[in-house]
Amino acid sequence: MQSSTDKQLYDYWDRVRNGRIAPNRAEIEPAAIAPLLAETFIVEYAGPGQFRFRLAGTRICDQFGRELRGTEFLALWDGADRHAMTSLLANLFGEGAVGHVRFQGLSLEGRHCNFSMLLLPLTATSHSVNRCLGSITALEPHYWLGADPIVHLDLTDVALDWPMSKPAAAAPAMPAPGNDPGFAGSLNGRPRFKVYDGGLSQPKG
């Protein structure tokens, strides 16, 4: 399932990208995606295995019950899920891949909600991919979201595609497990990655 926010953010990113591996961070105009900002975030590559939130929308922070800016992105995930997300980021930052993720959030009071997450590569001061523009959207309009914080995440689906139709070399190199377009991780016997040959893809359940 793909959220409206995912689709609109991808379409905007793809227009600004204009055939390149990724748009530059300075080219992203907040006013152009104003209706989406509450559900968007930016993560930066801060060193091997380190990915920090530079910005996080108000709705995301409300749903998680805390300010995410300055926190470690991978700290949201545990065990094999963290391994899978590290692999996804290796492909995004190392090769310009786009990530499509679905996960289930568990709240402090034991409630569940399904979410969609999109991750899009950005460049900054060079032609290297060193930022990520993303969105997190609840797929169900639960009344308790924002009041009962999400405290645990479980991946349910991860997909990769390369909008340029093939992996592109883009420093910094990411020495992470699965940095390879054919990678297929697994957790509890469930497929972890699907790989598409370019263009916007929708993860399949």
What tens digit of pLDDT does each residue of 35-66 get?
999 999 999 999 888 999 999 999 999 999 99
User: Which residues, in sequence order, are CB contacts of 48 under 8 Å at separation 6+?
Assistant: 174, 175
The predicted pLDDT at position 110 comes to 98
Split at pLDDT 50, 70, 90, the class of 165 is low
Q: Which domain holds residue 135?
A: 4-16+48-143+158-196
Domain CATH number, residue 75 = 3.30.450
pLDDT band of residue 127 (cuts 50, 70, 90) is confident
- The answer to whether the bond into 149 is cis (omega within 30° of 0) is no
Tell me: pLDDT of 184 over 80.
no
24 part of a folded domain = no
Number of domains forming the structure of the chain: 1
Its pTM stands at 0.83
> What is the pLDDT confidence band of residue 183, given thresholds at 50, 70 and 90?
very low
In a domain, 190, yes or no: yes
Is residue 76, in this structure, part of any structural domain at all?
A: yes
Residue 29, in any domain of the structure: no
148 belongs to a structural domain: no
- Residue 81 maps to a domain: yes
- Gap between the Cα atoms of 101 and 24, Å rounded: 23
pLDDT of residue 2: 67
Ramachandran angles phi, psi of 13, nearest 5°: -55, -45
Beta bridge partners of 52: 44, 72
Q: Does residue 75 form part of some domain? A: yes
Confidence of residue 163 (pLDDT cuts 50, 70, 90): confident
Provide the 10 A C-beta neighbour count for residue 77: 18
